[in-house]
Structure 1
Amino acid sequence: MPPNLALKAMNLAHRSLLRVSGGRLGNSFSGMPSLELTTIGRKSGRPHTVMLTAPLIDGDTIVVVASRGGDPIHPAWYLNLRDQPEVEVSLRSGPRRPMTARIATATERAELWPKVTAKYDGYADYQRRTDREIPLVLLTPRD
């Protein structure tokens, strides 16, 4: 897995591509829509934005994968939303929407994981690379 600096550089490049192209480029990856997820830092209390893909969208619920490329540690954004589930999401360069993040239960994950890996088999490879169970996060609109 790339070091944190490389991950930050990739996120910056992705956001820049979206901005420069007016949202015409970078809105999907391997057939999955991209999204910007903004969390509140669990240590800093400051907003942090990352680019992710959404392998599943069911109505208003967006599913994202806390894979970090199969790294043995959870991504920082996952740890942030675990501690502070109120997030903002911009799907395909759309408007930012306030959402609530919830980690899928074991039963939900068992049902969703095959659907996630059917959309992008790279997630199955990531899971094989690590001993940790890669969490799925469900993002739903805040009332």
Structure 2
Amino acid sequence: MSDERDFNQRNIDEFRANGGKVGGQFEGFPLLLLTSTGAKSGQQRVNPVAYFDIGDRIYIVGSAAGRDRNPAWVHNIRVHPDVTVEIGEDAPKPFSVRELPRGERDRIYPVVVERAPGFGDYEKRTDRVIPVFELLPA
């Protein structure tokens, strides 16, 4: 877990130092920083998360690269749906998160896969339904 935290922290630092741009495996990929409240701890948690601007709406996907468990931030936002989001050089802004019901999720996920084919691979690696969330300005 420490390796994952270190990896995330390096990407967070790079994001903030470079106006929302991150290199390496994320170069050119739209990332945002999601600050959520820990479901159990109540502490603020920051995670770099891929986002998709589809039809003037912003979506984030709890893929965990196809692992059999959702990323921790998914549990956090289900319990505490009020979050803060940083996109590019913009100042952090408050959002509320809405998990898409299955039918709506199933309409959006193919668009995600079309834009980022790796998400199709993630879906094949797991039996769980990968959740999709809409970010709503607060």
Instruction: Work out whether the TM-score is over 0.5.
Output: yes
Q: Deviations over 1:46-98 (max 9, x none)?
A: 11000011123432x31011011111111110000001100000112421111
The 2-side partners of 1:121 and 1:114 are apart by: 9
Residue 53 in structure 1 maps to residue 50 in structure 2 = yes
* Secondary structure of the corresponding residue to residue 12 of structure 1: helix
Alignment correspondent of 2:9: 12
The 2-side partners of 1:24 and 1:96 are apart by: 11
Question: How many residues are treated as equivalent by the alignment?
Answer: 137
Maintained 8 Å contact 1:89/1:98? yes
Aligned 1:1-143 pairs, distance under 5 A: 4-21=1-18, 23=19, 25-26=21-22, 29=26, 31-59=28-56, 61-142=57-138
The 2-side partners of 1:84 and 1:29 are apart by: 27
Please provide the CA RMSD for this pair. Answer: 1.9
Q: Which amino acid aligns with 1:65?
A: V
The 1-side partners of 2:54 and 2:90 are apart by: 15
The 2-side partners of 1:121 and 1:30 are apart by: 15
Maintained 8 Å contact 2:33/2:49? yes
TM-score, normalised via structure 2 length: 0.90
Where in structure 1 are there 5+ consecutive unaligned residues?
none
Q: Which amino acid aligns with 2:64?
A: R
Identity of aligned residues (%): 31
Maintained 8 Å contact 1:70/1:127? yes
Q: CA deviation at 1:30?
A: 6.0
Where in structure 2 are there 5+ consecutive unaligned residues?
none
Q: CA deviation at 1:110?
A: 1.3
Q: Which amino acid aligns with 2:73?
A: W
Closer/same/farther in 2, CA of residues 139 and 24 from structure 1, 3 Å limit: closer
Maintained 8 Å contact 1:40/1:46? yes
Maintained 8 Å contact 2:99/2:134? yes
